[in-house]
Structure 1
């Protein structure tokens, strides 16, 4: 490893509109700590979080200067510290975003702001060093590109559907997902694999066939149907409403989610893509007699459960049509910002 010159992206930090710079990785020759693993990264994928950190400007997305960006990635263990017994060279692994926490720890915003890709080194690099306790085994049924989508958006979708004890999605349930971003597509695929009936929404006619191909029983265009919540509800047995809704739009979508949810159903709020418009009164949850969950990422225990589920049901995560090299990571960020992607934008590193 010491004979090769590795490259990495770095975050400048501060309030710059473009925090990214592509540089030689000076960590290549650094000695491993006793509890660390060195991972040769093979692929990474981008999340909305990564875009906001790269753009800078908001207090919650400020990066620690000289930190490697990237929340999601997959690679192969190159070497391990002397105390590490859980992994060995050659193992395929995925880093969890939050380090130094227990296996059942559920991250809040402060923990995520202190996570990889913002406060500690992330995945947009040719080789990364992570605490052994913060990585999990990669599914054996996936490519590196597919597995690189699981750590952030995949885990968020898993938590939304499976994270509430006693209320995990099961066969016979009806699930509503919104749009074609990474969390929504992962939720569609997980719910379908669990035996649920999935209804999806999109604002693009071109994506309707793709959602159907992934297993959506029905697809509604929310741009041509302003009352898509009521429309979706009619697709459930006896128009009872949905057992689970994965809401990515916040203010822009919650009103319709309340229209579509069944009595005692669960709305998992996982995103803020439409925040600031059409404010919804929290009392609507009372009138709807439902559960509203705020979901940020998930625990390491959930991560391992998700890996096992993906192997058991041979889940193959959907990817965007266009793939980028590490050197062209800025092109990947631009595609995400322009919302030209479907599901996950992947960066091939090896």
Structure 2
């Protein structure tokens, strides 16, 4: 089998193809022939040395992949050869709360990733791929989609019809948040620095569009769009550089779901207190959440937004393309 791995530390150009024997599944394991993988900003953080506790040298990157079961080990009854499956980001987080031990089993970080033609998975660490999705589409779900789902539906105050959601930017998490919010009957405010991307967001159902390059005080534009009330939920992917305005844009008692670390900056905490806003860290999700999300995706026939699909041999180019942040939705690498 062929796989991509880094041969040097913090060196994206060292990502190269290697060969290894086909692995045989042991007890409780499943061998999956990978059909596709998708990229996340986390992949860039790891290879540039900005992700705590992760070392890129020797790593097979990629946390998100989908394919077909081609062999099962002893004791496996959950899957059969030919089943279409998608991997989970944390191989051991099946349900319940997140605990530190799960960090040791994160694909493409503390565990080998999915940029490989074949991979062994614990049988419990897979979910069934929605039948209407291709492997390329399913490969976008494990991190970006599940993070958006966790933010909107798994928190202390889940999204409900009629709520208002603020979505920052047009990356993978944001586009899934837009689609999920609309599927749940919510109103969505979308921000971007590109009018063209905003119009694509409108086509997906965004109700209000804000170009933050033209309106730097975009939190005030959000308040104006909600009649001064503020939004119920903010899907916050920017980090410190946008968090202050996200808190400002939330309603009293609103929820700010902190996901991304794309920007630097400082935070004044008093508005959190004065507005009784909940700032909640969201780090992907469990297999139980994944299965719940897939039920909605199946029932509504939702299709992930894919910007571009790269051939397997061009995985390095896919990562480099992500650096420019010019994509709309997800970048995918076709493997099978």
- Do they fold alike, i.e. is TM over 0.5? yes
Compared CA separation, residues 119 and 12, structure 1 to 2 (3 A) = farther
Compared CA separation, residues 316 and 105, structure 1 to 2 (3 A) = same
Paired residue for 1:155? 146
Structure 2 residue 2 is the aligned partner of structure 1 residue 7: yes
Query: How far apart are the structure 2 equivalents of 1:19 and 1:294?
Result: 33
Paired residue for 1:284? 271
CA contact 1:156–1:295 (8 Å) conserved in 2 = yes
Query: How far apart are the structure 1 equivalents of 2:95 and 2:172?
Result: 24
Structure 2 residue 239 is the aligned partner of structure 1 residue 247: no
Paired residue for 1:22? 17
Aligned length: 336
Paired residue for 1:3? none
Paired residue for 1:183? 173
Paired residue for 1:141? 132
CA contact 2:92–2:105 (8 Å) conserved in 1 = no
Q: CA deviation at 1:287?
A: 1.4
Matching residue within 333, 340, 345 for 2:319: 333
Paired residue for 2:95? 103
Paired residue for 1:323? 309
Paired residue for 2:70? 78
Matching residue within 222, 225, 245 for 2:212: 222
The Cα offsets for residues 113-136 of structure 1, whole Å up to 9 and x where unpaired, read as 641112222111111111111111
Q: CA deviation at 1:234?
A: 1.7
Q: CA deviation at 1:66?
A: 3.2
Structure 2 residue 78 is the aligned partner of structure 1 residue 90: no
The Cα offsets for residues 138-168 of structure 1, whole Å up to 9 and x where unpaired, read as 1122121111111011111111101114x22
Structure 1 unaligned spans of 5+: 1-5
Compared CA separation, residues 105 and 140, structure 1 to 2 (3 A) = farther
Query: How far apart are the structure 1 equivalents of 2:205 and 2:238?
Result: 22
Compared CA separation, residues 125 and 324, structure 1 to 2 (3 A) = same
Paired residue for 1:306? 293
Secondary structure, aligned partner of 1:267: strand
CA contact 2:54–2:110 (8 Å) conserved in 1 = no
- After TM superposition, list the pairs within 5 Å mapping 1:338-349 onto structure 2: 338-349=324-335
Q: TM-score w.r.t. structure 2 length?
A: 0.95
CA contact 1:15–1:57 (8 Å) conserved in 2 = no
Q: CA deviation at 1:15?
A: 4.2
Secondary structure, aligned partner of 2:189: strand
Paired residue for 2:55? 62
Q: CA deviation at 1:106?
A: 2.1
Q: Which moved more, 1:48-57 or 1:118-127?
A: 48-57
Structure 2 unaligned spans of 5+: none
Secondary structure, aligned partner of 1:331: helix
CA contact 1:19–1:55 (8 Å) conserved in 2 = no
CA contact 1:9–1:69 (8 Å) conserved in 2 = yes
CA contact 1:60–1:113 (8 Å) conserved in 2 = no
The two structures, once aligned, show a CA RMSD in angstroms of: 1.7
Structure 2 residue 257 is the aligned partner of structure 1 residue 268: yes
